[in-house]
A and B are shown apart, each in its own frame.
Chain A
Amino acid sequence: MQSSFKNIVILLSFVWITSSCEKEIDITVDPSNPVVVVEASINQFSATLNYVFITSSIDYFKPDLTLGGIKGAQVFIYEGVISGKDTLYPEYNKFQMFSVGETPFIDSLLPVVNGIYYNPYFAGKENTCYLLDITLPNGKKITGKTQIPKVVPITKVYYEIKGNPNKDGKRDALMSFSFIDPADQNNYRIALKKGGDSLAIGWGNADTYRTFDDALVNDVERTYPFAGGFKETDTVNLYFSTIGRTEYLFWQSFGSANNSGNPFSTPAVLKSNITGATGSFTGYGVSFKQIIFK
Chain B
Amino acid sequence: MQKLLYLFVYLASILYLAPLAQAQQTKFTISGYVKDASNGETLIGATVKVKETNQGAAANEYGFFNITLPQGNYILIFSYLGFDPQEVPIILNKNITINTKLTAHSVQTGEVVVTSDRTDRNVKSTEMSRLEISGEQLKQLPVVMGEPDVLKAITLLPGIKSGGEASTGFYVRGGGPDQNLVLMDEGVIYNPSHLLGFLSVFNSDAVRNVEIIKGGMPANYGGRLSSILNVSLKEGNNQKYSYTGGVGTIASRFAAEGPIVKGKSSFMVAGRRTYIDALVKPFIADSLRSNGYYFYDFNLKTNYILSDKDRLFFSGYIGRDIFSFTSPRNKDISFNISWGNTMASVRWNHIFSGKLFANLSLVYNRYDLNNEFTFGLGDFKAKFIASSGIRDVTAKYDLQHTVSSKHLFKYGGQYTLHTFVPGIANGNLGSAQINQEIDRQYANEYAIYFLDEWKINHRLTLNAGLRYVAFNQIGPYTKYEFDESNLKTGVSQSWKTLESISFYHGLEPRLAATYLLSEESSLKASFTQTYQFLNLATTSGAAFPADLWIPSSKIVKPQQAFQYAVGYYRNFSSNEYEASVEAYYKPMYNQVEFKPGTQLFFNQNLESAVISGQGLSYGLEFFFKKKFGRTTGWIGYTWSRTTRQFDELNNGNAFFYRYDRTHDMSFVLSHQLNKKWNFNFVFVFGTGNAVTLPTGRMPFRVGYDLQTNEPKFVFIDLYDKINSYRLPSYHRADVSFTYMHKKTEKWESSWNFSIYNIYNRANPFFVYFVPDIEKQEVKAYMVYLFPILPAVAWNFKF
Q: Using a CB–CB distance below 8 Å, which chain A residues touch chain B?
A: 5, 8-10, 12-27, 29-32, 34-35, 37, 39, 51, 53, 55, 57-65, 67-68, 110-111, 113, 116, 158-160, 162-164, 172, 174-176, 178, 185, 195, 197, 199-206, 209, 215-217, 220-225, 227-228, 245-246, 248-249, 252-254, 256-258, 260-261, 263-271, 278-279
Contact = CB atoms under 8 A, between A and B. Distances in A.
Interface in B655-710: 692-707, 709
Contact of B712 (A205, A253, A257): A205
Interface string B289-305: 00000000000000000
A31 to B, nearest CB: 5
B249 interface: yes
B388 to A, nearest CB: 15
Contact of A204 (B425, B702, B707, B787): B702
A74 B594 CA distance: 38
Contacts of B789: 15-16, 19
A251 B680 CA distance: 54
B540 interface: yes
Nearest to B780: A27
A7 to B, nearest CB: 11
B703 A206 contact: yes
A225 B702 contact: no
A24 B485 contact: no
Contacts of B794: 5
Given A116-B702, A205-B705, A223-B432, A258 B762 contact: no
A202 B786 contact: no
Contacts of B773: 63-65
A246 B599 contact: no
A220 to B, nearest CB: 5
Contacts of B777: 61-62
A27 B707 CA distance: 36
Contacts of B766: 263-264
B603 to A, nearest CB: 10
A39 B702 contact: yes
A227 to B, nearest CB: 4
Given A65-B773, A158-B380, A201-B703, A222 B709 contact: no
B478 interface: no
Given A258-B716, A264-B540, A200 B704 contact: yes
Contacts of A271: 597
B516 to A, nearest CB: 48
Interface string B434-467: 1010000000000000000000000000000000
A63 B768 contact: no
9 closest A-B pairs by CB: A223-B430, A204-B703, A263-B766, A202-B703, A268-B597, A205-B703, A32-B695, A222-B432, A32-B720
Interface stretch (B230-238, B324-332, B391-399, B627-635): B324-332
A184 to B, nearest CB: 11
B700 A39 contact: yes
Contacts of B597: 253, 256-257, 266, 268-269, 271
Contacts of A110: 704
B778 A225 contact: no
Given A21-B787, A24-B780, A197-B706, A57 B279 contact: no
Contacts of B699: 37, 53, 55, 58, 67-68
Contacts of B717: 60, 257, 260, 267
B430 A25 contact: no
A14 to B, nearest CB: 5
B608 interface: no
Interface in B695-752: 695-707, 709, 711-720, 725, 728
A176 B376 contact: yes
Given A13-B279, A63-B778, A113 B698 contact: no
Nearest to B330: A162
Nearest to A116: B702
A45 B282 CA distance: 51
Contact of B725 (A27, A199, A204, A256): A27
A258 B714 contact: yes
A35 B700 CA distance: 13
Contacts of A26: 780
A58 B697 contact: yes
Contacts of A203: 701-703
B720 to A, nearest CB: 4
Interface string B755-786: 00000001001111101111011111111111
Most chain A CB inside 10 Å of its own CB: which residue of B330, B380, B706: B380
A83 to B, nearest CB: 24
Contact of B542 (A37, A164, A264, A279): A264
B282 to A, nearest CB: 8
B487 A185 contact: yes
Given A37-B699, A67-B711, A174-B377, A162 B329 contact: yes
Contact of B329 (A13, A34, A57, A163): A163
Contacts of A253: 597
A13 B195 CA distance: 14
A195 B703 CA distance: 15
Contact of A221 (B249, B431, B783): B431
Given A16-B789, A176-B430, A223-B376, A254 B715 contact: no
Contacts of A160: 377-378
Contacts of B784: 20-23
Contacts of B376: 174, 176, 223, 225
20 contacts: A12-B249, A14-B283, A20-B783, A20-B785, A23-B781, A25-B728, A55-B698, A57-B697, A60-B697, A63-B771, A63-B772, A63-B776, A172-B330, A176-B430, A178-B430, A203-B701, A206-B703, A228-B329, A261-B768, A264-B766
Given A67-B699, A216-B434, A264 B716 contact: no
B779 A113 contact: no
B51 to A, nearest CB: 52
A13 B277 CA distance: 10
A30 B695 contact: yes
Given A32-B718, A252-B599, A158 B695 contact: no
Given A14-B283, A220-B432, A265 B540 contact: yes
A51 B425 CA distance: 39
Contacts of B776: 62-64
B487 A204 contact: no
A215 B425 CA distance: 11
Given A25-B781, A63-B771, A63-B776, A202 B704 contact: yes
B145 interface: yes
A197 B707 contact: yes
B613 interface: no
B276 interface: yes
A197 B705 CA distance: 10
Contacts of A172: 329-330
Given A39-B700, A204-B704, A225-B382, 5 more contacts: A5-B794, A29-B725, A37-B700, A176-B376, A267-B694
A199 B697 contact: no
Contacts of B380: 158, 176, 178, 223, 225
B767 A27 contact: yes
A273 to B, nearest CB: 10
A238 B155 CA distance: 52
B782 A222 contact: no
B781 A113 contact: no
B771 A158 contact: no
Contact of B333 (A14, A19, A59, A228): A228
Given A60-B695, A162-B330, A249-B485, A225 B718 contact: no
A199 B769 CA distance: 30
Most chain B CB inside 10 Å of its own CB: which residue of A34, A60, A228, A265: A60
Interface string B787-798: 101111010000
Contact of A23 (B430, B704, B762): B762
A167 to B, nearest CB: 11
B429 interface: yes
Contacts of B89: none
